[in-house]
Amino acid sequence: MGMAFRIDPEVAADDAGIRLSGRVMGQLSAAEQLVVWACRETAGPAEAGAADRLNHGFRLAFGPRLTAAAACSFDGLRRCLSADRHRAPRFCPLRCACISADEDCVLGGLAAVQLGDRGRHDSLVHRFVVPPARLQLWRQSRLVGMILDHADLLLPDKRRVQLAADAMQH
């Protein structure tokens, strides 16, 4: 007999105090999986081989021409998000299938950046940085968004999906 259980994302938390979003890696687009992986890979203390894994993953995703730019932009984003350890987003462990609520906010913020919507970006990620650092977070998020754009990696956004649906109806 198997054991079944249900996790309520609003109240679920592990020992690190991570709230879950209710989504799992398998539900994410390739672009979203890349962002979550890169954030998780750099979120904790440096593990042996982490830099090599990041470099290899970025080379596969962005090609040799954009690998260094991708690494720099993600590193800048990570530095902004982790500047204040009390505000920093909580990421699930590297090989965890679940998506934390904070990871979901970062994804939404980067999707808003790709649409040029600073207001939405700030509303989703402002709590991760002190007010004076919000402009720097916007700038770093834009760099990540531009690198993703150059590689044709669009993060899904409800508004983008709605715009595509509206275009198909005409």
117 within a domain of the structure (yes/no): yes
Residue 64 has pLDDT above 90, yes or no: yes
1 within a domain of the structure (yes/no): no
Q: Given this model, what pLDDT does residue 6 score? A: 36
Q: Half-sphere exposure (CA, 13 Å, Cβ side) for 32? A: 22
**Domain region containing 126:** 24-165
Q: Given this model, what pLDDT does residue 110 score? A: 97
Q: Given this model, what pLDDT does residue 170 score? A: 55
138 within a domain of the structure (yes/no): yes
Specify the number of domains making up the chain: 1
Mean pLDDT of 28-51: 87
- The pair phi, psi for residue 121, each rounded to 5°, is -55, -50
Q: What is the pLDDT of residues 5-30, one digit of tens each?
A: 333 344 344 445 799 999 999 999 99
Residue 2 has pLDDT above 50, yes or no: no
6 within a domain of the structure (yes/no): no
Torsion angle defined by CA atoms of residues 80, 86, 88 and 94, in that order, rounded to the nearest 10 degrees = 130
149 within a domain of the structure (yes/no): yes
